[in-house]
Amino acid sequence: MKEPYHLKSLIILLIALMVCYSGMLIIKTVPDGDETISYLCAAGNQNTYEKVLTHELLYNQLLPVDSLQALFQPKQKLFQSISQGLVESDIHPPLYFWLLHLLLLSGIPLMLAGLLLNFIFHAGTLTIWFWYLKKKNIPPSIGFVMLIMLIFSSAIADTAFVARQYMLLLFLFSGFYITWNLILTKPNLGLWIVYILFITFGMLTHYLFWYVLPFTLLYSVWQQSVKQSIYLTFCLVIAFLLFYAIHPDFWIQFNAQQTRAQPYQTKQLLERFLKIILSFIQLFFPVWWIKEGVKNIFAIIGLVWIVAVIVFLKSKIKKIRIHLAFFNKPELAMLMYLLGLHILPYLLFFTPYHATGRYYWVMSMPLIFLITAKCISEIKFIPKLLLLLVSLSVWFADTHQKEQQKQEFADSLEAYKEITVTTLNRRGFLRFVPMINNKLILLAEHPMQPKNKQLWITDEFTLKHLPFTPVDIKTYSFSDGVTLYRIITP
């Protein structure tokens, strides 16, 4: 019998992944708000921006856009400055930003650096899962569907094409889970060392990773494996000491992240419950299409895709059987723990309202996709593959629509030499600063009537209290929740 998990198969998957990223590089012209924060942090200027441009603004004076663009370009190695800036004005550990910093130092443009780094982590995730599926002799009808989901899922696409630390987190969690799973069956010194490294780097990437670690001890206690529990505890201690040596001021950020709980609101509880459901659906279908209805051709494509999938699955539902023999205990136990770790704190208001969706499912994604692939394993492979591949065109259309509005916004700036704004909030207007040239920006302390007939504001309160009657108001709402208003003045 021919080996299904052949090197050629992996190369084909990686080429498909490369095509996706190349297409995104063409489509994407403006960074998201969160990406703006990443680039500021990676340039070592997060603190500079917070202190100078937020708290010491020179209002009503023209600033050359070049002076703001310089904040996104590091001039030298600033690893310590990056760590310190994150400790003082952010809640994330520094590993991802250090890696992005190295790419920016090499002269790679902002957008390319973010996508290139994510491509490396994405390719690494596919490779280690390919190796694991081969080692565990998982049937190819399951394994390849899972790997294709790791490329084409709409939630993966939304995460992969944003310069944040979540693709690195996906890679490190995958390595951590696979190493731990192998340790359960056949431990050796090499696996223990790799396990420690994955834990250390995971802790340096996101504090969500910390909450996964107790599960490995709980599982060993549940399995009544005293020796294994001791070894796992020893690994956690070593990993923490390595982490502490690299990032000793972590406790300031860690404490800040724990204070983001919100007061209970009955009305919002229902909204949170619905957000959890929609964000889970987003793992498989681009939920954005449901909101769009039939406003444009891309939405129609998306809605037809969703209906086609539902009809297809309905016709095959009687043939779908869950074979419990396929599910090993660590796999199910880890997934249940991860789901509880994400859903319960969110519904109990321990985490902010926005803390669900693409980023927050990232550690659960591989196991959800693996189990999904097992559940539908009796559907013939070719129809299943075709349905999954169609999703590629869906999220490309989805992304194109989102990026098109950002490009329209950027194009609207070209007609003006001077741009008046009421704020340079990191997630608002600042995202367009790297993309515009030869401009002067006027920071207005109040929504004054600008000489250039155009004013940009970022909040509804200011919009409702303008000291003049606008000729026209154009609203730009972006997929990350930020809304900007362009006011044309008399």
Tens-level pLDDT at each residue, the chain (490 residues): 456 777 888 888 898 888 888 877 877 777 777 888 888 888 888 777 766 665 555 556 667 777 778 888 887 888 888 888 888 777 889 999 999 999 999 889 888 999 999 999 999 999 999 999 988 888 887 888 888 888 877 778 778 888 899 999 999 999 999 999 999 888 899 999 999 999 999 999 988 898 898 888 888 888 778 888 899 999 999 999 999 999 888 777 666 665 666 777 788 888 888 888 878 877 776 665 555 444 445 445 555 555 555 555 555 444 444 444 444 578 888 888 898 888 888 888 888 877 787 788 899 999 988 887 777 666 665 555 555 555 555 555 556 556 666 666 666 666 666 666 766 666 667 777 777 766 666 666 555 555 555 666 666 666 776 766 777 777 766 666 667 777 776 6
Residue 460 CB contacts under 8 Å (≥ 6 apart), including other chains: 483
> Could you tell me which residues are beta bridge partners of residue 487?
455, 473
Rounded CA gap, 403 and 401, in Å?
6
DSSP 49: I
- Residue 442 is predicted with a pLDDT of 61
How much is the pLDDT for 126?
95
**Spatial distance between the Cα atoms of 375 and 378, rounded to a whole number of angstroms:** 8
Do residues 35 and 164 touch, judged by C-beta distance below 8 A? yes
DSSP E strands, 61-131: 62-64
Give me the pLDDT at residue 324, please: 42
Which pairing describes strands 418-421 and 454-457: parallel, antiparallel, or unpaired? parallel
* Residue-level pLDDT at 393: 55
Among residues 445, 443, 458, the alpha carbon closest in space to that of 409 is found at 458
Q: What local confidence, expressed as pLDDT, does residue 246 receive?
A: 92
Q: What is the structure's pLDDT at 243? A: 93
381-413 and 7-27 helices cross at what angle (nearest 10)?
A: 20
Q: Each residue of 63-103: pLDDT tens digit?
A: 777 777 888 888 788 888 888 888 877 788 999 999 999 99
Measured CA to CA in angstroms, residue 80 lies from 42, 51, 58 at distances of 11, 18, 28
User: What is the rounded CA–CA span in Å between residue 278 and residue 288?
Assistant: 10
What's the pLDDT tens digit per position in 327-381?
457 888 888 889 888 888 888 888 887 778 778 889 999 998 888 777 766 666 5
Residue 131 in contact with residue 124, Cβ under 8 Å? no
